[in-house]
């Protein structure tokens, strides 16, 4: 019989085919076929101080029983970015155990630093404290970054009975979630070291909006009180200024008015307020007020193309002193006053060339210096330097920013620029620094673009924001919001675009806290509906980046609602309060209300900050229903107190100034 060579050949072919098929399913380095299993990681740690045994669990799925002192390792394989949570049970009755680093998220490595530290029960100490001002549910407190404890609304005390600490252990209590419409802070003794006894001296203080807004200008006058300005100092005192645009009191003259709030005296003083100046030609405008902790207050404004100032020293009354014009000044004055009693004013001056100038106040001679330019002269055919803004800290560092539009002879195009200058302890202003420059096709399209704003903290960190001209995807003229930071005496090399949508963005405002965190707010039109919304973006000084835009208002899809005039305040500890106007439709009429949003930086997200309506006047309360409550302004102090003022129509068809507090 002849040998059959076909069988081995068949086996060889089958083997080859199987190999090829296996190769088709091989994940290999080509990435084809079945994907490789993702990298996995394990949780490891140590147990110390234990007299006996206990059990450990990972994510309530794997348990290690009867573990004594020494190392441990869970066998569960966890993927990257997955959560892990280690707990214990079965601890001997005479002992307590504390777990450190037992909760977190896998970040591309094994977790090897979980520490279970045990100690005698009679050496355990509890952290506790008191709470003031807590009105609603939602507060969460955490001890040493452990899972938070929920605190019920109305509570006046708290404790961490479930997580006592051993003698010599460091402790730190943090707020991980704020209650609705409130901001809470660890006011005292929030960190330290356990030293042989319970710690019961922690204090949590929660702030909220006061129940009802207060009308603070007089009802008996047939006036239209508009354009309020407010300043708040660290003692809780405030100074208010406003501009009646109609005044009937025998002489028929409009005036500049001011009023003081003294915390120790129980509220607003001088029911009739104080008339600072008669504005015979009825064109006074842009009133601004500054107040320091000494108690000095200064108001500036302009009328008849001249800036004026009224200084009220501490302990004096407004009527004890008089207003004076600022030499070599014209429009849009801004005032800054610090606790060293350094008082600076900046303003526009149009002599032979348009400039931004400044003046300082001498308390000895009770006089203002003549206006001195801090900007270059405007030498071009058309254009101007205008809208100066000013910030000053207690180290006598001041920063002024302003805008410039410059048009060449016979040209329709122009250059739009933002400039800045710093004032130092030596009393000199620096050479102006160009922060931004953009070319625009038509001077008239953007002649009002700019609105620069500046915020400065005590560490010398600052952020400036402004409008800058640009074009939409369709080629339409629009404006964007840009920002630039200042630290260690230097401006950043380049301004940053804060918003990326196609709508027209304008009227930015900026605030900064003592850590250098900043929040910018602005209004922005939607291209498709031409309806405005309020947006914020937060600057993180650790990463040197802006975190991204978040919308604050909740008017999406609500017919005839619109928002505008955003303002922002930021307390030294990082509590942010934004206010704005919002149109509400009621019985066919558009009523303007004041809305606000509060948020603690680093606690949660702006998206969780539900807006609150602060003031709303309906048709039954006002014959000027189309006006309602408008033009909010606010200021904050180091205690975290915030005051908001605005103008609102009353049933007598007159406008008056209202206020409310967040404290």
For 569-593, the pLDDT digits (tens) are 998 889 999 999 988 665 555 677 8
Q: What is the DSSP letter of 122?
A: G
Query: pLDDT (tens digit, 9 = 90+) per residue, 287-319?
Result: 999 999 999 999 999 887 889 999 999 989 888
526 vs 563: which has the higher pLDDT: 563
Kindly list the distances between the CA atom of residue 383 and the CA atoms of 25, 388, 397, in Å, as whole numbers in the listed order: 71, 15, 30
Query: pLDDT (tens digit, 9 = 90+) per residue, 330-354?
Result: 889 999 999 999 999 999 987 656 7
Question: Ranked by mean pLDDT, which of 11-15, 457-461, 532-536 comes out on top?
Answer: 457-461
Which residue ranges form the domains of the chain, and what is each CATH number? Answer: 40-122 (2.60.40.10), 126-208 (2.60.40)
Across the beta sheet with 414-423, the strand order is: 382-392, 398-407, 414-423, 433-440
Give the pLDDT band of residue 250 (cuts 50, 70, 90). Answer: very low
User: Which residue is listed with tokens 């460091």?
Assistant: 170
Contacts of 456 by beta carbon, 8 Å cutoff, 6+ apart = 391, 392, 393, 397, 398, 399, 462, 486, 512
Q: pLDDT at position 13, please?
A: 46
Cβ atoms 139, 184 nearer than 8 A: yes
Q: pLDDT at position 603, please?
A: 87
Q: pLDDT at position 353, please?
A: 66
Q: pLDDT at position 608, please?
A: 72
Q: Is the pLDDT of residue 97 over 80?
A: yes
Q: pLDDT at position 610, please?
A: 83
Mean pLDDT of 270-287: 67
Q: pLDDT at position 556, please?
A: 62
Q: pLDDT at position 80, please?
A: 94
Q: Is the pLDDT of residue 14 over 70?
A: no
Q: What tokens were used for 432? A: 């102006």
Contacts of 13 by beta carbon, 8 Å cutoff, 6+ apart = none
Q: pLDDT at position 466, please?
A: 95
User: End-to-end alpha-carbon separation of the chain, Å?
Assistant: 108
Question: Ranked by mean pLDDT, which of 103-107, 210-214, 382-386, 626-630 comes out on top?
Answer: 103-107
Cβ atoms 164, 124 nearer than 8 A: yes
Q: Is the pLDDT of residue 33 over 90?
A: no
Q: What percent of the chain has pLDDT over 90?
A: 56
Q: Is the pLDDT of residue 623 over 80?
A: no
* pTM for the model: 0.84
Q: Is the pLDDT of residue 621 over 80?
A: no
Least confident segment among 125-139, 332-346, 504-518, 616-630: 616-630
Nearest 5 degrees, angle CA 425-CA 431-CA 437? Answer: 130
Q: What is the DSSP letter of 19?
A: H
Q: What is the DSSP letter of 371?
A: P
Q: pLDDT at position 649, please?
A: 77
CB count, 10 Å around CB of 424? 13
Query: pLDDT (tens digit, 9 = 90+) per residue, 104-148?
Result: 999 999 999 999 999 999 889 999 999 999 999 999 999 998 889
Mean pLDDT of 274-291: 75
Least confident segment among 392-396, 426-430, 487-491: 426-430
Q: pLDDT at position 663, please?
A: 92
Nearest 5 degrees, angle CA 421-CA 425-CA 429? Answer: 25
Q: pLDDT at position 302, please?
A: 87
599 vs 530: which has the higher pLDDT: 599
Mean pLDDT of 212-220: 77
C-alpha torsion 569→574→575→578, nearest 10: 30
> Using CA atoms, how far apart are residues 240 and 429, in angstroms rounded to an integer?
30
Give the pLDDT band of residue 272 (cuts 50, 70, 90). Answer: low
Give the pLDDT band of residue 490 (cuts 50, 70, 90). Answer: very high
Q: pLDDT at position 277, please?
A: 67
Mean pLDDT computed over every residue of the chain: 85
Cβ atoms 452, 387 nearer than 8 A: yes
């Amino acid at each position: 019989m002849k040998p059959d060579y076909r069988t081995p050949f068949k086996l060889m072919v089958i083997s080859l085919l199987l190999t090829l098929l296996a190769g088709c399913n091989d994940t290999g380095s080509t990435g084809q076929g079945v994907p490789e299993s993702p990298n996995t990681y394990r949780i490891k740690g140590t147990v110390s101080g234990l007299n006996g045994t206990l059990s450990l669990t990972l994510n309530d799925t794997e348990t290690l029983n009867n573990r004594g002192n020494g190392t441990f390792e869970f066998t569960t394989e966890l993927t990257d970015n997955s959560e892990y949570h280690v707990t214990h049970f079965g601890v001997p009755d005479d002992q307590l155990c504390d777990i450190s680093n037992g909760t977190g998220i896998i970040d591309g490595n094994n977790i090897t630093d979980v520490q279970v530290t045990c100690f005698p029960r009679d050496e355990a100490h509890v952290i506790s404290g008191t709470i003031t001002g807590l009105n609603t549910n939602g507060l969460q407190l955490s001890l040493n970054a452990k899972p938070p404890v929920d605190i019920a609304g109305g509570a006046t005390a708290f404790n961490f009975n479930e997580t006592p600490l051993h003698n010599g252990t460091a402790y730190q209590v943090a707020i991980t979630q704020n209650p609705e419409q409130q901001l809470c802070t660890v006011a005292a003794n929030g960190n330290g070291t356990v030293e042989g006894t319970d710690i019961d001296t922690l204090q949590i203080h929660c702030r909220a909006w006061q129940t009802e807004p207060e009308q603070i200008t007089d009802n008996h006058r047939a006036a239209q009180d508009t354009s309020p300005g407010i300043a708040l100092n660290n003692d809780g005192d405030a100074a208010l200024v406003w501009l009646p645009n109609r005044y009937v009191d025998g002489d028929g003259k409009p005036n500049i008015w001011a009023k003081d709030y003294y915390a120790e005296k129980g509220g607003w003083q001088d029911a009739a307020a104080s008339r600072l100046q008669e504005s015979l030609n009825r064109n006074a405008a842009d009133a601004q007020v500054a107040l320091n902790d000494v108690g000095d207050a200064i108001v500036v404004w302009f009328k008849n193309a001249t800036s004026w100032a009224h200084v009220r020293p501490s302990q004096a009354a407004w009527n004890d002193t008089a207003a004076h014009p600022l030499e070599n000044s014209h429009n849009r004055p801004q005032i800054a006053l610090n606790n060293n009693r350094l008082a600076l004013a900046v303003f526009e001056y149009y002599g032979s060339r348009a400039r931004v100038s400044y003046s300082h106040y001498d308390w000895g001679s009770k006089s203002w210096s003549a206006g001195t330019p801090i900007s270059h002269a405007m030498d071009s055919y058309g254009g101007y330097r205008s809208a100066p803004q000013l910030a000053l800290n207690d180290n006598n560092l001041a920063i002024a920013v302003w805008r410039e539009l410059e048009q060449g002879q016979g040209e329709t195009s122009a250059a739009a620029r933002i400039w800045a200058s710093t004032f130092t302890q030596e009393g000199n202003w620096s050479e102006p620094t160009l922060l931004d420059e953009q070319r625009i096709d038509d001077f008239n399209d953007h002649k009002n673009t700019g609105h620069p704003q500046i915020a400065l903290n005590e560490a010398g960190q600052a952020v400036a924001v402004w409008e800058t001209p640009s074009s939409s995807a369709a080629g339409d003229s629009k404006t964007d919001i840009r920002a630039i930071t200042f630290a260690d005496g230097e401006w950043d090399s380049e301004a940053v675009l804060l918003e990326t949508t196609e709508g027209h963005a304008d009227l930015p405002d900026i605030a900064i806290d003592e850590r250098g965190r900043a929040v910018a707010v602005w209004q922005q039109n939607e291209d498709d509906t031409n309806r405005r919304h309020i947006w914020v973006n937060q600057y993180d000084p650790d990463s040197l980046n802006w975190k991204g835009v978040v919308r604050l208002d909740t008017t999406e899809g609500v017919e005839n609602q619109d928002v505008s005039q955003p303002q922002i305040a930021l307390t030294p500890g990082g509590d942010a309060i934004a206010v704005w106007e919002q149109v509400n439709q009621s019985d066919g009429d558009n009523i303007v209300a004041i809305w606000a949003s509060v948020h603690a930086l680093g606690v949660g997200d702006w998206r969780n900050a539900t807006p609150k309506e602060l003031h709303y006047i309906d048709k039954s309360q006002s014959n000027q229903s189309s006006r309602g409550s408008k033009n909010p302004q606010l200021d904050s102090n180091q205690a975290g107190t915030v005051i908001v003022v605005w103008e609102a129509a009353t049933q007598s068809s007159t406008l008056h100034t209202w206020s409310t507090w967040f404290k």
